[in-house]
Copies of this chain bind each other. A is one copy, B any other.
Amino acid sequence: MLVNVEKETKLFGQSIRQNIRVTFNYEVHFTHNIFNLKNPTLAQAIAADDEKKPKKIVALVDAGLLEFCPDLLSQLTNYTKFYAEVLTLAVEPMLIPGGEAAKNEPKLLEQIHQLIEAAGLCRHSYLLGIGGGAVLDLVGYAAATAHRGIRLIRIPTTVLAQNDSGIGVKNGINAFGKKNFLGTFAPPYAVINDLDFLTTLCDRDWRSGIAEAVKVALIKDAHFFDFIHDHTTALAHRDMDSMQQLIYRCAQLHLEHIAKAGDPFEMGSSRPLDFGHWAAHKLEQLTDYRLRHGEAVAIGIALDSTYSYLLGILSHREWQRILKTLAELGFTLYVPELAQQSSHIENSHCLFRGLTEFQEHLGGELTLTLLQKIGKGIEIHEVDLSFYKQAISLLHEFEKRKQTLVTTNRGER
């Protein structure tokens, strides 16, 4: 009938080639005072789905925020009441411990799934994640895996989350002592960056997020690096206008990369946005997360820039400019854990084990991004550990002499 007997014998040994194209669209909004009743951004983001009934929402809130925004939950409740035609809180918001703790406790994932089940959310309901990058990573993973994906609206409250982790397509939690061992690629339904949350940040968190802006400037946009270099003092002194510009441009560069670099779900071996990250991930783990992600990234950038200089790829002048900019922003560029260099690279306490773990996480051939010049990355596939050891010594010296250097640099500007 379908296949006659002659053809049938050919069926096996045959194959069907499947080609699937999936399109994801989402808006990254910039706003102030998100839960002010006059601010329709959130309600509009949900109403954009053109479905009639009010949509069920479950809110997951970074507990750390409530210290600084004690009225946050009541504001959220009022907001949902005011926009009751569009959205309805299905259950009381759940509080989630902020920082890396959110990603290290597997029970939290289970609790969020339980909440989703109890609230009867469907694939057209919404999880609202309000918090820093770690909380959003956890909430994103829970959203992506319940009912094979519930809509996620991210409301990032830190610099890092607003310009980097909160606007992209990844989520994840840590497992087996490995950063982001579990996770998926899952674009959000929308992102709403509310600048006002940044006033709640302690200095370390304010500064920490700038590291990712420095990173993306270094590999993609020399003008943006100039902007950061010219605004180190303003940024270090918490100038909101400078920060606003930094976040917008950084977000823009990240979004452009994801959409246009050809590998949004990172199926290849190359991941230029992870410049400086092999050491950063390992240092976070070696310091037991004493270092914030951005603080570790600043060290990772300094290390891979120094390595680039030692290899003769990056000029001495630009290398120095990078270290000084990071230092002026207030970053410490050396921690004792950099010296954990076991003779056995397979030793999990050895910094260089981070290279293997990075490769395992990306997959395929080891691919690191180094700097050819400010604004331009270059990929390499082999490393020379002796140069890395030398780079670490240079960072140690730089850190010891930092005060002097910072002063000198200020004179130069």
Contact = CB atoms under 8 A, between A and B. Distances in A.
A227 B362 CA distance: 47
A182 interface: yes
Interface in A169-183: 169-170, 172, 175-176, 178, 180-183
A146 interface: yes
A51 to B, nearest CB: 6
A145 B172 CA distance: 9
Question: Which residue of A113, A124, A258, A362 has the most chain B CB atoms within 10 A of its CB atom?
Answer: A124
Interface string A239-266: 0010011001101100100110000111
B1 A15 contact: no
A217 to B, nearest CB: 10
Contacts of A202: none
Given A145-B184, A149-B265, A255 B361 contact: no
A20 to B, nearest CB: 5
A370 to B, nearest CB: 21
Which of A23, A123, A148 is the most central at the interface, judged by chain B CB atoms within 10 Å of its CB?
Answer: A148
A399 to B, nearest CB: 29
B26 A23 contact: no
A226 B2 CA distance: 10
B266 A169 contact: no
Given A117-B181, A184-B144, A364-B122, A18 B26 contact: yes
A30 interface: yes
A269 interface: yes
A15 B123 CA distance: 25
B13 A31 contact: yes
Contacts of A25: 17-20
Question: Which of A8, A178, A231 is most buried by chain B, counting CB atoms within 10 A of its CB?
Answer: A8
Of A27, A145, A167, A230, which is in contact with the most chain B CB atoms at under 10 Å from its CB?
A: A145
A117 B359 contact: no
Contacts of A176: 113-114, 117
Contacts of A230: 1
A2 B258 contact: no
B23 A23 contact: no
B364 A264 contact: no
Residue with the highest number of chain B CB atoms closer than 10 Å, among A255, A259, A267: A267
A1 B244 CA distance: 13
B146 A182 contact: yes
Contacts of A13: 30-31
Interface in A150-207: 150, 167, 169-170, 172, 175-176, 178, 180-187, 195
A105 interface: no
Given A30-B14, A122-B360, A147-B361, A265 B227 contact: no
Contact of A8 (B18, B20, B183, B245): B245
A125 interface: yes
Given A114-B176, A146-B181, A21 B18 contact: no
Given A17-B26, A18-B255, A148-B266, 12 more contacts: A2-B245, A15-B29, A17-B27, A18-B28, A19-B23, A19-B259, A20-B258, A122-B359, A145-B182, A145-B184, A148-B180, A184-B186
| Ranked 7 nearest A-B pairs via Cβ | A123-B363, A124-B363, A122-B363, A124-B364, A1-B227, A122-B360, A15-B29
